[in-house]
Structure 1
Amino acid sequence: MFQRIALALTILVLATSCANSKLKLPPETLFKQGEKLYAKKKYDAAAEKWRKAKDSTTSPLLRTAVELKLADALYHDKNFIEAAAEYENFRKLHPKNQKAPYALYMQGLSNYYQVKKIDVDQTPTKNAVTLFEMFLQQYPGSDMTQKVTVTLAECKARQAAHEMYVGRFYYRTDKFEAAIGRFEYALQEYPGTPRSDEALFFLGKAYLNTGNTNKAKESLSRLVTEYPKSEFVDNAKKILSSNS
């Protein structure tokens, strides 16, 4: 009986020891496992391996590499909030690292992709604009400059579209002063965006509804002059003609 108990305890100890040894893999091994999983697009599993490597390594070089890899895995797993935080953390810890420009760009993208609709809070888009503008100031000669410039323009177009969405809501609900504020803001802050002609048209109509005919004519005339091919031009001309 005693021998059986002793044997059982020995097996239990060995099993526990084996289990612990599996859990305590070297950080270098965890890093390589993460790379294999990442290559297979198993981003969540890769992130888990890299978190463990990050927490267990004592090597500054490995830790730096893991920090950026972890951010990339989170980004590709569409975990954009955590990815943005990890890219920011990397930049703060390694401001002079050659990958710092990349981390700044990816932090901007991580904010950009947090929002997909124009009818929701645009704070992440605003954050992305700040980050992309920071990139252009800090790294004007970067080979990523063109991509940053394009995405920055997309961010501003989204912000303008959001202002138009809110402004048109106010317009539909007869809150013309509030609508005017939104349309004016869109034109001032996001000039030349794809919906500037729409902003001018509804700005003119909103002014007309408040009785400010001069301001209405000013906005509609500007629409006709600056955007002659706009879908709103014909209606703008009709309104101008009837209020001449």
Structure 2
Amino acid sequence: MATRNGFKSIACANGLARVLASLTTVAWLAACSTPEPEIPDTPVEILYNNAKDSLQTGEPAKAAKLFDEVERQHPYSKWATQAQLMSAYSYYLVDKYDDAIPALERFIELHPGNRSAAYAYYLRALCYYEQIEDVTRDQGNTEQAQRALSDVVARFPNTPYSRDATVKLDLVRDHLAGKEMDVGRYYQTRGQYLAAINRFKTVVDKFQTTSHVPEALERLTESYVALGVFSEAQKATAVLGYNYPGTEWYQDAYALLMSKGLTPEGSEAEPPIALVDPDQIKGTEPAPALEPAVAAPPSDIAPAPDAVPVDPVTGMPLPTQQPAAPPPPADEGPLLSTGSSDQLMNHPEGESSDGDQVLIPTGEDGTPAPQ
């Protein structure tokens, strides 16, 4: 029993020690989490000026609390409306976007017609814009920034806020296109070409003004060629060549199509001309010459005689007609003379023409003899 009582006393002592340790920890945590003292009620002018002074002296965190106190202590004063916007701006300066965005949302909802509403929309867009992550991270804030910036441009088109929002909006879209390209390249390197095509087509369709479109078209060509869909590959390369003819992306896409025997115009490429090296054909044997045709040997059979004409009534052969004798030579006419042409043609009958006559010597048979 003594031993048991000893064990009991030891157990009680250990339990008491644990309770004391836990109480000490709770007290220490309570001391560390002691809330800051509340700001006593202060006239609105003094409280607002104190918050403004804190902001100007480089204490935006303190200024934000003072501006919130203005709204809490004097919710119906004319200073409360401005204090809401100034509080959001102070939180923005210290990168407390989770506090700034709800304050701006409340200001826009309660005071849509305020003259500072344009700035409230713009500051809300900046809060999302400043939280844009790298393309390898989630782009939820980037999409929020795109919607907020588009809202500024649509609602306040002729303000300085709209001009700056337009510039930032182009950067946001380029960033979103970069995210799509990063995911598309991931799928492409792993052979998941359909998923990659969907990402690249999103860039071409929704982000046409960004700098990622040429690469997206070239990678569409690569993916379609890998799948064997050559008609779509030709279309993508044609669009790339029309809009970005001098880029390296078009050169790569064109070379890829040519390697497959295709052109961007939708036709097959012309086959290359084969150049024959004379040195490669020196050792080849010439083609054998054709042997001349051998004449047929003479036949022992005599050719058939010519047909003999017969009388169709009696059937007797008709006498063959001898060829007609040539006509006698015509009279050579008068001898040539050296008279004029008129005298030769017009002299009276029976009279010889003037001038000496030139006689052409003839042979014994009457034919002209050679000179």
Question: Residue 62 of structure 2 aligns with which residue?
Answer: 45
Conserved? CA contact 2:122–2:165, under 8 Å: yes
d(CA) in 1 for partners of 2:247, 2:40: 64
Q: What does residue 100 of structure 2 align with?
A: 83
Question: 1:39-66 CA deviation, whole Å, 9 max, x = no partner?
Answer: 2332222212222222112443111011
Report the counterpart of residue 224 of structure 1 in structure 2: 241
CA pair 75-226 structure 1, distance change in 2 beyond 3 A: same
Q: Do 1:163 and 1:182's aligned partners in 2 also have CA atoms closer than 8 Å?
A: yes
What's 1:129 paired with? 146
Distance 1:145 1:123, change over 3 A: same
| Structure with greater Cα Rg | 2
CA distance in 2, matches of 1:174, 1:43: 52
Q: Is the 8 A contact 1:157 1:190 kept in 2?
A: yes
1:180 aligns with 2:197: yes
Equivalent pairs, count: 226
Work out whether 1:32 is the aligned partner of 2:49.
yes
The answer to whether structure 1 residue 72 and structure 2 residue 89 are counterparts is: yes
Q: 1:205-244, aligned counterparts within 5 Å?
A: 205-243=222-260, 244=262
Checking the alignment, whether the CA contact within 8 Å between 2:48 and 2:67 is kept in structure 1 is: yes
Number of the residue aligned with 2:13:
none
Range with bigger deviation, 101-110 or 123-132: 123-132
- Partner SS state of residue 232, structure 1: helix
Q: Is the 8 A contact 2:222 2:233 kept in 1?
A: yes
String of CA shifts for 1:2-48, please: whole Å, max 9, x gaps: xxxxxxxxxxxxxxxxxx89644444333222212222332222212
Q: One-letter code of the match for 2:129?
A: Y
Greater CA deviation, 52-61 or 208-217?
52-61
Matched, 1:108 2:125: yes
Q: Which shifted more, 227-236 or 62-71?
A: 227-236
What stretches of structure 2 of length at least 5 have no aligned partner?
1-36, 263-371
Of stretches 112-121 and 154-163 in structure 1, the one that deviates more from structure 2 is 112-121
Residue identity opposite 1:172 in structure 2: T
Could you tell me the TM-score, scaled by structure 2's length?
Answer: 0.57
Matches of 1:224 and 1:21, distance apart in 2: 68
**Can you list the C-alpha shifts for 1:44-93, whole angstroms capped at 9, x where unaligned?**
22212222222112443111011000111111112223222221211111
Of residues 91, 106, 111 in structure 2, which corresponds to 1:94? 111
After superposition, the Cα gap between the structure-2 partners of 1:66 and 1:22, relative to the gap in structure 1 and judged at 3 Å, is closer
Distance in 1 (alpha carbons) for counterparts of 2:246 and 2:54: 52
> What amino acid is the match of 1:29?
I
Which is richer in helix?
A: 1
Query: Which region of structure 1 is more displaced relative to structure 2, 193-202 or 119-128?
Result: 119-128
Shift in alpha-carbon separation, 1:29–1:230, aligned structure 2, 3 A:
farther
